[in-house]
Structure 1
Amino acid sequence: MHNVPTTLLYSLEGLQDLDWEKLLKLQTPLGSFLASPASTAFALIQTKDEKCFRYLDNIVKEFQGGAPAAYPFDLFARLWAIDRVQRLGISRFFTPQIKDCLDHVYRYWTEDGIFAGRFARFSDVDGSSMGFRLLRLHGYKTTPDVLKQFKNHDKFSCFACQMIESPTPIYNLYRASQVQFPREKILEEAREFSCSFLQERLASNKFLDKWVISKHLPDEIRKGLEMPWYASLPRVEAKYYIEHYGGEDDIWISKTLYRMPDISNNKFLELAKLDFNRCQAQHQREWYFLEEWYVNFKLQELGISKKDLLLAYFLAAANIFEPERSNVRLAWAKSQIIIRLMTFYFTRESNTLEERIDLLSKFKNFKCIGKRKSYKTGRRILDILLKTLDQHSIETLEEHDKDTSHKQHCAWETWLSKLNNEDLEYNDEAELLVHIINTCAGYMVSVDMLQHPEYKKFSKLTNKICHQLKEYQNNKVHEMGNRDKVTHGIKYKEIETDMQALVQLVLEETNEIDSNIKQTFLMVAKTCYYTAFFDQETIGVHISKVIFESV
């Protein structure tokens, strides 16, 4: 403790026989010992050090005669606040503040990670894990090598010489390990250790934590293990986090985000509940509208159940949940159903090549298919597609003042042509879905961009991932919801590697493709991962929580 900074510097007032000549060399540039006013006050009494005095004098003046337990706490407080508002589903209200906070953290980020406050000359796995994850997810350049120093043999610790390991730092390590790029071995090791550590704590019900006092901590960790990041949808995560959240009185979060005027009495949980219920009310209205669409086109006669439609809508609403983005949600849900109908029609052996070519020709010319009896199903599906495309185009024009009818029509024509020629390497429906979502959201994808090598790389990788996940789902290679059995398959490891590659493509900075367009590829891939990972019963519970149960 006399040679390198450790957490003992936080508690000097409780120690004896200290070598102050050595210890004073471990002060932060502010004059403190770590971020502890108490420890620094004891040092001042023992040494009369001028830097200790200046640190304490500034604190007493700033806090008008008192002192907090720790100062500065600027790095971890910012990260914790960002993490909370994101998991509560209200981060979109604080976009500028989140960027300011992350810029501040990145300014003091070091190759050794961070501690709670700047200038600490010390780091721990808690702040470093959360900092690494949030910075990477927001496009800042970071490396997981900062976590290597917390690994000793096959174990990770919050910091060196740790005697009692708390669950929350290891849980943050687990969450950081999931934001992995290919060949980042330290994150693979971190995930294996943290997952095993947390499962053991759940089994033994040992959740005494030095940093967090919350009765909901076991529920939060259990849900985090049950729902890995690849299989996590924003609204599902928000609903569970609101239920398990123990921060009703977290006034400090509001102070960290500079006292946002939108929030009554600094109640972030209250805002999250109000926002969730407002979104849910909109989702219920849209579901009733979709039911009318289902009845009007007699989709049940075409083999589509209401359960199929509800799942399609849920997957859209669980990702794109803002009330004002109704047209994107509805376009996503309807397109999923029409893709299913078209795939069935073009791959059914009873439909002749002539019938398929005729349907495609009529679609190209915006006409209805012929009246022959054998064309009945194809005519109905084509009618649904053309009328739905018209509706999507009108809504996008009203919302974004952009005529997207030609772009949407071309995207469907390209996909149908490949489907007819059996030229789909992975059934490129993921690529089509991404294009529909982006177009209806007002993110214009030009012809040149569609041919851009990087865009093609996104499309091919996303198509491959979704195809392989669908194979798992259809062939029931794994027990639904049991990740341990999935991981034994060679193809699962290939999917994991491909997901890591997609995450890297999305998060690494590039000027070629808009970040919103890139994020849509990841969103669609994660949605496919979600449906392959969870069993139907669990998905049914999630649907009820997101669409029908208020908070």
Structure 2
Amino acid sequence: MRSMGGGEINVSAYDTAWVALVHDLNGGDAPQFPAAVDWIVRNQLPDGSWGDAAMFLVHDGIIRTLARLCCRIDVLEHARRSVRQGIPREVLHTAPTSLLYSIEGMVDLDWNRLLKLRCPDGSFLSSPAATAYALQQTGDQKCLKYIEGIVTKFNGGVPCVYPVDTFEHLWAVDRLNRLGISRYFTSEIRQCMDYAYRHRSERGFGYTWDIPVKDIDDTAMGFRLLRSHGYDVSPDVFRNFEKDGEFFCFVGQSSQSITAFYNTYRATQLAFPGDEVLGRAERYCSDFLRERRAAGKLYDKWIIAKDLPGEVGYALDFPWKASLPRVETRMYREQYGGSDDVWIGKVLYSFFCNGTFLKAAKADFTNFQRLSRLEWHGLKRWYDRNNLQEHGVTLQSALRAYFLAAANIFEPNRAAERLGWARTAVLAEAVASHLRSSASADSVREWLVSKLTSDSCDKQPREAKNSAENRLLYALDELIDHLALGSASDSLREAWKQWLMSWPGKGSEVSREGDTALFLVRTVEICAGRHGSTTDQKMSIQKYSQLEQITSNSHT
């Protein structure tokens, strides 16, 4: 991850064949790139074809093999469809479009005009096949330099697209996040995000930073990751992919892509108030994906994934704001295809995702399962010792509280926050249940508030457990002492007092979910050490006010 450079991607027999077809530019009969010819010879399969030995696909092998045999056929359906469906040949020669990626399938081209549309590295949209064809036809030195560089880098063979630096930086971070192991790569992820932020554009992202044709897939991934990592990015970039009430992946596309709109839908989940374009994109992508799911057509033109319908279905059924991170990780582990994933461009080739990531995620998940079992047994003993069942809290409810805490805060070094959340949620339910059943709920609440000061709690005799209220106060006092030390204890007591004082009163129909959610957020912050003394908390209240408002908003 620290040395990605232009990205690592598997060699394509199809593109290597086009490079091998380039004759000596000085007029001889020998190949200009003998290393490419050598790669073709060394990588022929036992049946005489070329293709992916690990995944046999007839059309893949035929296309690669025909390219090797130098048959001049137009196999590039994307190029033909794009010309038919709205990109005139004149546009091909005047503005960068995705057609430049497939010019090896076209004839009667005006090379004087096309050469002006090259990328800064001399390639045509980073396509070795297209660039090799241009080199055949023109002998252009910039095209030559590009091909020479990648032939050397990949030891004779070439991939079907290079570089893919932006794509690889973004997707590597996304995979680490979704597999739940990103905390082991914090510095590397920061480097990737800094790289993406430096190379962002008002027109969006492409698979490499300087490619002139941007797409909504890379743009959505870049926007979502940058915003979720705290970078200031504008959603206006999505306006570049909107026309007449619809969104598209890139100009001149022949059909819509499931994965492109799946990633765009994920990006829209991070909308801020006022992000109108994200609201429109969310509605469009949601309708599109739901329609495809209902029709059983959740397959994509770019990748063959292990369980794309499962990924899309989870995103639709459990939006980001309602998803539990560890549950999402567990689901994604089953959906993740690792080295079995392939991307269909002009040919099929193995996706870059390293199986090592998946192995690390499995090991991490196993370790967390062991840790969570130990924590749950400890929580259960605490539940039994304080006889919380007496106060209306079932063991199932306690297990649910721990599950919610562990599904959101799963890092081993955050046990204090996780257990602080779970125990506070359980005890808050016990207090709420007691108040609801008490004939004098208001007086009991006021009594608990009056006792929640350091002095009064110190004076409370630990053996005075002759009433339900005293037993609850004892459990509360013990929990606060267990979760926090020093000034943090004062912050916890203040949080409990505020929660109790917000009690709506007996018989009220007002929902408590927002107040309790805010209370749990404050508890987690205090257990994590991010809330200092009561004085410090008051000084930084504006810093947390927006987060707390969002947390307590029942519509969020």
**TM-score surpassing 0.5?**
yes
Give the unaligned 5+ runs of structure 2. Answer: 1-91, 344-350
Please, which of 404, 411, 425 is the counterpart of residue 495 of structure 2? 411
Aligned to 1:223, which of 308, 311, 314?
Answer: 314
Please state how far the C-alpha of 1:248 moved relative to its aligned partner.
Answer: 4.4
Q: Distance in 2 between matches of 1:353 and 1:31?
A: 77
Cα 1:130/1:372, change in 2 over 3 Å: closer
Q: Distance in 2 between matches of 1:433 and 1:7?
A: 50
How far apart, CA to CA, are the structure 2 residues paired with 1:251 and 1:277?
A: 28
Which protein is richer in helix relative to its size? 1
What is the CA-CA distance between 1:425 and the residue it aligns to? Answer: 11
Q: Secondary structure at the match of 2:452?
A: helix
Quick check: 292-301 or 120-129, which moved more? Answer: 292-301
1:343 is displaced (CA, Å) by 3.1
1:457 has 2:545 as partner:
yes
Larger radius of gyration: 2
After superposition, residues 232-381 of structure 1 pair within 5 angstroms as 232-248=323-339, 267-346=356-435, 350-351=439-440, 354-364=443-453, 365-366=456-457, 367-368=459-460, 376-381=467-472
Quick one: structure 1 residues 357 and 204, their matched pair in 2 at CA, closer, same or farther if it must change by over 3 Å? closer
Distance 2:133 2:241 in 1: 29
**Separation in 1 of the partners of 2:464 and 2:532?**
38
Tell me the CA shift for residue 43 of structure 1.
0.8
Offset at residue 384 of structure 1 (A):
0.8
CA shift in 2, pair 1:13/1:434, >3 Å: same
Correspondence for 1:154: 245
Measured after TM superposition, the shift of residue 310 of structure 1 is: 1.0
Check whether the contact 1:9–1:34 (CA below 8 A) recurs between aligned residues. yes
Distance in 1 between residues matched to 2:260 and 2:245, nearest whole Å: 17
For residues 229-261 of structure 1, the C-alpha deviation after alignment (integer angstroms, 9 at most, x for no partner) is 110111010000001111146899xx989xxxx
1:62-101 alignment runs, 5 A limit: 62-101=153-192
The match for 2:72 is: none
Q: Tell me: CA distance 1:78–1:353, structure 2 relative to 1, closer, same or farther (3 Å).
A: closer
Deviations 1:400-432 (A, max 9, x none): xx763233233323443454999x997733333
Q: 1:131 corresponds to which residue?
A: 222
Query: 1:101-180, aligned counterparts within 5 Å?
Result: 101-180=192-271
Give the letter for the 1:307 counterpart. Answer: Q
| Corresponding residue for residue 41 of structure 1 | 132
Equivalent in the alignment of 1:441: 528
Q: Deviations over 1:459-507 (max 9, x none)?
A: 6514631xx3xxxxxxxxxxxxxxxxxxxxxxxxxx2xxx4xxxxxxxx
Checking the alignment, whether the CA contact within 8 Å between 2:462 and 2:474 is kept in structure 1 is no
Question: Residue type matched to 1:435 in 2?
Answer: R
Contact 2:417 2:528 in 1 (8 A): yes
Give 1:363 deviation, angstroms.
Answer: 3.2
Task: Name the SS of the counterpart of 2:552 in structure 1.
Answer: helix
- Aligned-pair identity in percent equals 42
Look up the match of 2:147: 56
Could you list the per-position Cα deviations for residues 314-343 of structure 1 after superposition, in whole angstroms to 9, with x for gaps in the alignment? 110001111232222111111012222333
Q: Relative contact order, CA 8 A, sep 6+: which one is greater? A: 1
Q: 1:456 to 1:203 in 2, by over 3 A?
A: closer
Aligned residues: 451
CA contact (8 A) 1:429 1:463 kept: no
Secondary structure, in 3 states, of the residue corresponding to 2:321?
helix
1:384 is the counterpart of 2:472: no
Q: Tell me the alpha carbon deviations over residues 349-407 of structure 1, each in whole angstroms, 9 at most, x when there is no partner.
A: 5126554443333332114389999x7121111011011112213xxx6xxxx763233
Contact map agreement 1:346 1:356 (CA 8 A) in 2: yes
Shift of 1:20: 1.0
Label 1:107 to 1:13 Cα distance change in 2 as closer, same or farther (>3 A). same
Per the alignment, do residues 120 and 329 of structure 1 end up closer, same or farther by CA in structure 2, a change over 3 Å counting?
A: same
Paired with 1:83 and 1:206, the residues of 2 have a C-alpha distance of: 25
C-alpha distance in 1, partners of 2:413/2:438? 42
Q: How far is 1:68 from its partner?
A: 1.7
CA shift at 1:189, angstroms? 1.1
CA deviations on 1:493-546 (whole Å, 9 max, x unpaired) are xx2xxx4xxxxxxxxxxxxxxxxxxxxxxxxxxxxxxxxxxxxxxxxxxxxxxx
Contact kept? 1:72, 1:118, Cα under 8 Å: no
Matches within 5 A, 1:195-206: 195-206=286-297
Shift of 1:311: 1.1
Matched-pair contact (CA < 8 Å) for 2:339–2:355: no
Change (3 A) 1:368 1:2: same
Helix, strand or coil: the match of 1:2?
helix
8 Å CA contact retained: 1:357, 1:420: no
